């Protein structure tokens, strides 16, 4: 039997805020805003940037939010004869940064307004040819991103908890593949099972077929869960090849962290706190906490037959 994940969870069982509260981590542990941009007249002739002095800054964007305004650039003064500005040295962010936003003052102004969004974490240059009237919202004054390390640790701790317990915590889609159908029930390798999406197999001629859902039933009350042929139905014959049977199913307690049992959420929070506060122990393989904390997972471990 082989398990492979198809669709990963879209949220985590605990939030960064909950882990910060557990760990007593200061709220200032966030993505650091970027440094100053290098600016210069492009020398490309007349453009749309209004005549006057302009300054620029950038912010980092992550899945959680946006940093506050970064360092301010030197001033660059445009005239009617040269209304274009070249931006370079736009700083790249960490692994969780998905975009950068550029802000600029209007001519001789002091408020930084949205100029453009760089929807990547690779671009380092930008050509500004935008009139003041087309500038957008003001740069944020509050950092709404989360600590990148905490975000990564939460995901890792959740995956460790899933491996230990044999349970998918947040709704996720898996495929379980077998070399052939067993005589009767099929043990599903990731609980709790929400539904069976499909049961497919390669028939004796090598054609991929889908079993009619009326020909099998899902037993979610038994641990581990089972898929069984319906009454008076047998599993079909398959071609003699590896991974001839493919079962796609959805597992997890739900789409919200609050749906996950409190003991598992506490274990994840404790592991993240321990790893964050003592990274050397994590590198030594001693990432676990007190025996009491590890014991929180024991009631949820599934022992496969």
Query: What percentage of the chain has pLDDT greater than the value 90?
Result: 65
Torsion angle, CA of 44/46/52/55, rounded to 10 degrees?
Answer: -40
Would you state the structure tokens that stand for residue 178, as one six-digit string? Answer: 């077998």
- Domain range for 105: 38-134
Average pLDDT, the chain: 89
Q: Is residue 57 a part of any domain in this protein?
A: yes
Would you state the structure tokens that stand for residue 300, as one six-digit string? Answer: 């949820």
Residue 148, SS3 per DSSP:
helix
Q: Are 264 and 164 spatial neighbours (Cβ–Cβ below 8 Å)? A: no
In tens, the pLDDT along 149-188 reads: 788 889 999 999 999 999 999 999 999 999 999 988 999 9
pLDDT(290) > 60 = no
Structure-model confidence comparison of residues 39 and 272, the more confident one: 39
Q: Dihedral sign for Cα 12, 18, 24, 30, please.
A: positive
pLDDT-derived band at 273 (thresholds 50, 70, 90) equals: confident
Q: Are 89 and 34 spatial neighbours (Cβ–Cβ below 8 Å)? A: no
- HSE of 69 in the Cβ direction (CA atoms, 13 Å)? 18
Q: In this predicted structure, what is the pLDDT of residue 21? A: 75
Q: Is residue 202 a part of any domain in this protein?
A: no
| CA–CA distances in Å: residue 291 to residues 266, 287, 288 | 13, 12, 8
In tens, the pLDDT along 216-269 reads: 999 988 778 899 999 999 999 999 999 999 999 999 999 999 999 999 999 999
In tens, the pLDDT along 2-52 reads: 889 999 998 999 987 788 777 766 655 678 899 999 999 987 778 899 999
Selection from 46, 69, 65 nearest residue 57 by Cα: 69
Q: In this predicted structure, what is the pLDDT of residue 284? A: 55
Q: Is residue 208 a part of any domain in this protein?
A: no
Mean pLDDT of 48-76: 94
Q: Is residue 245 a part of any domain in this protein?
A: no
Q: Is residue 116 a part of any domain in this protein?
A: yes
Q: Is residue 110 a part of any domain in this protein?
A: yes
**Number of structural domains in the chain:** 1
Q: In this predicted structure, what is the pLDDT of residue 64? A: 81
Q: In this predicted structure, what is the pLDDT of residue 206? A: 96
Q: In this predicted structure, what is the pLDDT of residue 80? A: 73
Q: Is residue 129 a part of any domain in this protein?
A: yes
Q: Is residue 273 a part of any domain in this protein?
A: no
DSSP of 149-209: HHHHHHHHHHHHHHHHHTB--B-EEEEEEESS--SS-EE-SSBSEEEEEEEEEE-TTS-EE
């Amino acid at each position: 039997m082989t398990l492979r994940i198809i669709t990963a969870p879209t949220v985590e069982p605990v939030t960064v805020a909950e882990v910060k509260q557990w760990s007593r981590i200061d709220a200032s542990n966030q993505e650091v805003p970027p440094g100053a941009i290098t600016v210069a007249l492009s020398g490309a002739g007349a453009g749309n940037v209004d005549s006057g002095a302009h300054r620029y800054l950038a912010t980092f964007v992550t899945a959680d939010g946006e940093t506050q305004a970064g360092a301010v650039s030197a001033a660059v003064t445009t005239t009617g004869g040269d209304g274009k500005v070249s931006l370079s040295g736009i700083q790249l962010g960490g692994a969780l940064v998905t975009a950068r936003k550029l802000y600029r003052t209007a001519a001789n102004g002091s408020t930084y307004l949205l100029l453009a969004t760089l929807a990547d974490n690779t671009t380092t240059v930008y050509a500004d040819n935008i009139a003041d009237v087309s500038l957008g919202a003001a740069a944020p004054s509050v950092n709404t991103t989360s600590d990148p390390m905490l975000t990564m640790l939460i995901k890792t701790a959740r995956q460790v908890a899933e491996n230990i317990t044999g349970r998918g915590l947040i709704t996720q889609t898996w495929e379980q593949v077998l070399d052939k159908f067993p005589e009767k029930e099929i043990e599903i390798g990731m609980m709790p099972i929400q539904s069976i999406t499909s049961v497919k197999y390669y028939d004796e001629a090598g054609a991929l077929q889908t079993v009619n859902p009326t020909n099998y039933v899902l037993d979610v009350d038994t641990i581990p869960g089972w898929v069984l042929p319906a009454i008076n139905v047998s599993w079909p014959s398959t071609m003699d090849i590896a991974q001839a049977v493919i079962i796609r199913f959805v597992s997890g307690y739900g789409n919200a962290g609050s749906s996950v049992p409190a003991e598992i959420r506490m274990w994840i929070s404790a592991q993240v706190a321990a790893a964050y506060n003592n990274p050397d122990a994590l590198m030594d393989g001693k990432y676990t906490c007190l025996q009491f904390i590890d014991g929180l997972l024991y009631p949820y471990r599934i022992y496969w037959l």
